[in-house]
Amino acid sequence: MAKTKFEFSTVGHDEWLTPKWITDAVGPFDLDPCSPINRPWQTAKTHLNKNDDGLSARWEGFVWMNPPYGKEAKHWMKKLQEHENGVALLFVRTETKLFFESVWGKASAIVFLKGRIPFCYVDGTQAKPAGAPSCLISYGELGKERLKLAVESGKIKGHLILFK
């Protein structure tokens, strides 16, 4: 039986778009270094895709990052942590080496999102909810304030933890 485009599977896919309501609630952003090549909406003023090598590029301003998941994520999270001005979307994997190296004791805030978010295909259509829970992780004061405002206003539903 053939799969429909609404079935969520990461097999064979390496570009997933964050639902627009998330970036709208926490933005605006200056840079998205992990943007899909084709996207139905803007996530930041400047977009870098895999052809631009966003990991090696110079980052400026307030960054939105939905990094490539898997083994590459640690490099992206380290760069965002060192940049100290942005928000990342990750699966909740609090026990992993990635969280211990780049989140615990380094992030300014975390929102554990309520429910599992449905990512979007790069054409903007919504997939089924992800196979794991997600969280928003901020670095720096601006990210911390944006997450706090998004939760307090009800634009983001979840549990907020403030650090530093």
In-domain check, residue 123? yes
How many domains would you assign to the chain? 1
Write out the residue range of the structural domain in which residue 39 sits: 20-162
In-domain check, residue 6? no
Phi then psi for 54, rounded to 5 degrees? -60, -25
In-domain check, residue 2? no
Tens digit of each residue's pLDDT, the chain (164 residues): 343 333 334 444 556 789 999 999 999 999 999 998 888 899 999 999 989 999 999 999 999 999 988 888 999 999 999 999 999 999 998 898 999 999 999 999 999 999 999 888 878 888 788 888 999 999 999 999 999 999 999 999 999 999 97
In-domain check, residue 15? no
pTM, two decimals, is 0.88
In-domain check, residue 12? no
Helix or strand holding residue 83 (H, E): helix 73-83
In-domain check, residue 89? yes
Q: Dig out the tokens for 123 from the structure.
A: 């054409």
